[in-house]
Each structure stands twice: as C-alpha cells, then as structure tokens.
Amino acid sequence: MKTIGLIGGMSFESSAIYYRLVNEAVRESLGGLSSAQVIMHSVNFAEIVGYQTTGRWDLAEKALADCAAGLERAGADCILICTNTMHLIADHVAASISVPLIHIVDETSAAIKASGYRRPLLLATRYTMEHGFYTNHMRALGLDPMVPDAEDRQTVHDVIFKELCAGRVEAASRDAYLAIIEKAKAKGADCVILGCTEICLLLDPDQLCLPGFDSTRIHAQAAVTFALSGRREKMVA
C-alpha cells in the first residue's frame, strides 16, 4: 500500500472527513482491520485565510509547497490539498514535489463526465467560484460549468466561512443552498458540485433536485485508488 500525504486544516472540519473517508475506503477494499497509511500536515487555517483575504497567494504558495515537500520527505507517495480553494495554487505546489499531486478538479471533472453530465453548478467559496482557476480547468476538460449570481455566491461563501468551517450546520442555510440549486436547474444546470470540502456537512449529494458530486468524497476515493493501485487481492483479517 502506498502512503497518502494530506495537507489539511483548511478547515479541520473537512480534514477529519478526509481521514475518515480514506480509512473507510481502504477497509472496504481490503477488509478486516485494514486502514490507510496516511501522513497529514494540518496547517493553522487562520493564517491561510489571512493570505486569501489580503490576496497574498504568494505566501500561501510557499506555505503549502513547504507542507507538500515535508510530506514527501516523510514518505508520502502522493499529495492531496484537502480543500478546493487552495487548488488555485496547485500548480505551484505540484512543482515543489516529485510525487503526484492528486488534483481535486481533475478527479471531480472525471466523475461528472463518466456519469454523462456536462453543465455542473459549482457551489464553493467566492475565491473558487470567481477566480476562474476551477471553471477554466473544467472547461479545458470538456465541461461547461456555471456559478450562482453575485448575491447567491456571497451567501454560499458566507455559510462556508461563518458556519461550516466553525462546525455549525444551520437548517436555514441548507434551505438557502437548496433554493440556489433550484434556480440553477431552471437555468440549465444538469448536476451540482459540492465544490467546497465542508459543504458535505450541510448537503447530502444524493438528496438534491440535481445529481450531486461531492468533491471531498471523490478526492478521497482517488487517493485510495492510487494507494492501492497494482494490488488486486482482497485481504481479510
């Protein structure tokens, strides 16, 4: 089994989900008491948010590149950035290591295309929805993503940072998200991406008016597929 390197803490709420999903998937695949070989570097999210809000992406690049390089030195065979937003600097992080960076947009796009959809609604932080790195990447992969209007983008963003990242799950916010998805469906969206790794705390992707793709679950499963690649037998303790 290969070792998975996780850059977490953005926020720790979703990093805990990554850890659980990765280990559940390994146990499901190998059986018995099997669990994943994982190394995590969990950052102080307040520092990363400070870089985001001040536009100091150069400092974020250095911080996460240092994390990735440290995980590789510690024995990680692949690296995951456990957040959608920080994939804005994924190319820089990938360039700082010699092991693969498993890219959340690549994996989510592949899952959508494999299911026969093309016009996903992206729900994410304002940075992810507005900076273009995510939607442009998806367009290059043959998809036609859409984002909510400006007011709804702010609503989605505020719920993430003020509630979900702080461990709060509010029914009113769930209703607001569902209304945004309904509007997108009326405008031609054929599926929805839970494009922030905390949104799975609020929404069940299987209980929406459109087919849902949880980027957290997709990303974690891709890591497990990589970690178990080349191993076909099922081991039962």
Active-site residue flag, 67: no
Active-site residue flag, 196: yes
| Catalytic, out of 82, 83, 135, 200 | 83
Q: What is the 3-state secondary structure (H, E, C) of the chain?
A: CCCEEEEECCCHHHHHHHHHHHHHHHHHHHCCCCCCCEEEEECCHHHHHHHHHCCCHHHHHHHHHHHHHHHHHHCCCEEEECCCHHHHHHHHHHHCCCCCECCHHHHHHHHHHHCCCCCEEEECCHHHHHCCHHHHHHHHCCCCCECCCHHHHHHHHHHHHHCHHHCCCCHHHHHHHHHHHHHHHHCCCCEEEECCCCHHHCCCCCCCCCCEEEHHHHHHHHHHHHHCCCCCCCCCC
78-81/120-123 β-pairing: unpaired
* Residue written as token pair 């390197």: 5
Q: Which residues are catalytic?
A: 83, 196
